[in-house]
Amino acid sequence: MKMDVIMSFMCERGFFQEIEVSILFEEIILILGENGEIKHANERACTVYGYSYDEITKMKFEDLRIKRMPYGYEIHKRKDSSTLEVRVYAQKIYDFNVVVIRESEKTLLHSLVNDLPFGVLIINREERCVYANASTQKMLGWTKEELMGKSIHDLLYLGELRISKGISAFQAAFSTEETYNQEWTFVCKNGSPFHALVFSVPISEFGETSGTLILFQSNDENNSISHLRFVAYHDELTRLPNRSLLRDRIEQAIRAAKRSDEKIAILFLDLDQFKRVNDSFGHRAGDALLHLVAQRLKTKVRDSDTVARPGGDEFIIVLRAVHNARDAARVAEKIIQSLSRPFVVGKHKVVISTSIGISLYPDDGANVDELIHKADMAMYEAKASGQGMYAFYNISADERMQSELRLENEIRAALERNEFKLYYQPIIDLHTNEVTSAEALIRWHHPKRGLILPDEFIPVAEESLLINHIGKWTLEAACRQIHAWKENGASMSVSVNVTAAQFQHEEFVSTLRKTLHKFKIKPRDLILELTERVVMREDEEIKTTINELDSVGIHFSLDDFGTGYSNLKYLSVLPIDILKIDRSFVEHMIDSPKDKRIVEAIVDLGKHLKLKTIAEGVESQEQVEILKHLGCNAAQGYYFSPPLKAEEFCHEYVKH
């Protein structure tokens, strides 16, 4: 059967109804066999469905059809899995079923509307979005999937949610056939306002209003002003209110609380392990984590509450209309639970916790500064109780903060008065029982309180950035001592702990080189002890610094191995010389088979990678015997010697 014969027959029978013969060959035409197999397809059919002629003629018509609809409309599937709405005309001619397929006018209209240069929204009777064109998505930043089903109330700016003229116009559209031309303020996905000139008109079906068609375009002048205002009062990274807007929100909340005789709560949040994430994965990962935290926090409070980021890894939440302390505690508990779930940052799964301090109006203060200050005090109290905790403000929290501030000032004075001293703990070769090196450990000889150990003052020094000054002093003091021993004909290499903040300081390498040159120290006499969180960072500058110092002969020791992020990749790419087994494993390996196996695994890893292993915190002969049996190279701890003053160490262990 020839195609032209079939076409002539179809035209004679009026098959095409309203389809003009002049556009006949612009339609999709399929000729089907008795069982629906496609015997022939015109060029238009191949183009629209995306199949070659050979491919489509091996298919059945049912392979193209997804769904039948009333009045001859159907949903069909293309080769690339995209869909199209079509209208199907079919008639049997001789032994063939001839099918003419027209792309639905709805499909063509959709394509036209989607490409319009202004926004188009269709809202149903339930006040939810059922259509949004490409311009809407571009202007507001939402994807089509995010917009579908979203309430119109969620698309209008928060401040206008209840009183917007746009809302009034929208609601009126269901009860009248009038159109509306007004100014609305939409909310973009990033939280910024989008001022628009809006034309809305009701949609009718069968004589009843079924929805609203909204057409809108940018009100450029208002948006420029709005953008500047938004930038001035919001945090650039998280798009949350900044400190300035936060103060205004708290002042508003206080005024409202006075009128209604209710309380407000200020929640001061600090992320417990954020510094560790920054040190391990870099600042870009830290920024990404802050953004994710902000998004998660917003889901745990009401629209009337405020989540703000005043700076760093701190967030402040303002809870309005709080009846009692228990209301605030419930929110704090929800937040702690939510933030304890892992975050996916790039290729990494990151687990953090948060410490929350809570102050209440009017109980703890009558103004913004008082409430924030006391919530901050309470946060430190929560942090002191352990990670992932919350605490309400009390006088003891204030006292603790005052104590830390006094300690910070005393540390500054101690640096000026040279009150810090280095003690040296010997590191013993387990096979020869000889001292191979020493670890320099800082101590503070306080004029009134006596000897203060690092656990008490180092955390405060890290918080205040005084750690860089302490680190610089420690390196210089250790090099001075190595030089003094050499002057007396002795030789001893010394390991010095270097914090993440110190190692990342831009002048660290140059300062170290100057110190080595000043005291005529050979680089191999100095061992830098780094923690896993420093070397784990995916930061080229860190790798460059380590490789640069290794190239001049400085050795590196990995401190507290096994207690940080356990990614062993860095052991193969960085010049690490020593693995130090953390004292927590050594302490329990006699009674805990699991800890013993961990120690054994670290020792075996060191053997395979040709790294020296040193066990920390050895306190008994039994521990020494186990370490020898496992093949550990060296050890240090009170079993051999406590940390000693330089002159005592020299007398006991340094060979002249």
Residue 337 CB neighbour total at 10 angstroms: 11
DSSP codes, 158-216: GGGTTT-HHHHHHHHTTT-S--EEEEEEEE-TTS-EEEEEEEEEEEEETTEEEEEEEEE
Tokens of 652: 């006991």
- DSSP character string of 310-356: EETTEEEEEEEEE-SHHHHHHHHHHHHHHHTS-EEETTEEE---EEE
Distance separating alpha carbons of residues 388 and 374, to the nearest angstrom: 19
Query: What are the CA-CA distances from residue 196 to residues 184, 216, 327, 536, 587 (Å)?
Result: 5, 6, 39, 48, 67
Longest dimension (CA), the chain: 118
| pLDDT the model gives residue 536 | 66
Look at strands 180-187 and 119-124 and give their pairing.
unpaired
343 CA to centre of own chain: 6
Give me 69's structure tokens: 């609809």
- 535 neighbors 570 (Cβ within 8 angstroms): yes
Per-position b or e across 406-434, b if 16+ CB within 10 A of its CB: ebeebbeebbeeebbebbbbbbbebeeee
Cβ-contact 428, 436 below 8 angstroms: yes
Pair of tokens at residue 383: 């942090």
Short-list 34, 33, 56, CA closest to 43: 56
Q: Give the separation between CA 75 and CA 57, rounded to whole angstroms.
A: 20
The per-residue pLDDT for 106 is 52
Q: What is the DSSP letter of 235?
A: -
* pLDDT attached to residue 113: 73
**Residue 20 has what pLDDT?**
36
Helices (H), 351-489: 368-385, 395-417, 454-464, 467-487
For residue 219, the tally of other CB atoms under 10 A from its CB is 18
Which pLDDT value is given to residue 144?
84
Q: How big is the CA angle at 149 (ends 112 and 165), to the nearest 5 degrees?
A: 85
Peptide bond into 362 cis (omega under 30): yes
Q: Name 185's bridge partners.
A: 195
Q: Which residues of the chain have pLDDT under 70?
A: 1-26, 70-72, 93-96, 103-112, 157-181, 204-209, 220-231, 395-401, 536-539, 564-567, 655-656
pLDDT value of position 193: 83
Query: How confident is the model at residue 170, as a pLDDT?
Result: 53
pLDDT score recorded for residue 207:
57
- For 264, the 3-state DSSP assignment is strand
Tokens 């062993």, residue?
568
Contacts of 537 (CB under 8 A, 6+ apart): 279, 280, 281, 282
Rounded to whole angstroms, the Cα distance separating 540 from 547 reads 10
Four-CA torsion 361, 363, 369, 374, nearest 10 degrees? -120
How many other C-beta atoms can be found within 10 angstroms of the C-beta atom of residue 4? 8
In DSSP terms, 194 is beta-bridged to: 186
Q: Rounded distance, CA 458 to CA 196, Å? A: 55
**Residues 420, 645 contacting (CB under 8 angstroms):** no
Q: How far apart are CA 639 and CA 620, in angstroms?
A: 6
**β-bridge pairing 390-392 and 420-429:** unpaired
